[in-house]
Amino acid sequence: TPNQLGAAVAPDAAGARWATVILRDGPEGVRIPYTIPADCSSGVTRAINSWMASVPDGSTLVFGWRACYKTERTLRLEDRVGLTLHGNGATFKRFTVSPRRLRYPNSNRHWLIRGGSGITLQNMRVKGTNTVSDNGQPGFGSYLLDFEFEHGFSIHGVQGIVITNVSTDA
């Protein structure tokens, strides 16, 4: 049942309720499955990674319009060719601090793009958990060694990558 915010709310097979944001004016492409919650109500890292892996090279992957995806672990694109990820204004957000095993010198980056070629990321936001300023200025997080490798985007060995209208915060 659509509501006034453009989200559809429906029960799944077990009777649990979930919501997904309806796309508006998005490009043609492979749209994220409506079964992946797009309201930051539950973790979807594994589901998004599985979906992205299932889409063939040369595709445009389209996320929910202004969706919010709770991604507590790394989203991965490895050795892919000719993919465009159209965020459609979506936010990929963390709510909990990374566990000790994923802190420096290890990594819990938000996005890992490794190998491949011709990758485009556009129209998306990444929000982390480092929201408390250590210098008293709004908009600045704290420098904490434990979280030094929680990059918004970690890019390694990609031949040709374009990133447009993308932001990373906290």
63 vs 81: CA distance, rounded Å: 19
Strand order in 75-78's β-sheet?
A: 75-78, 111-114, 153-156
In the block, residue with structure tokens 């079964």: 35
The answer to whether the pTM exceeds 0.85 is: no
* pLDDT classification of 15: cutoffs 50, 70, 90: low
pLDDT digits (tens, 9 = 90+) for 101-122: 666 666 678 899 999 999 999 9
Structure tokens at 101: 């095993």
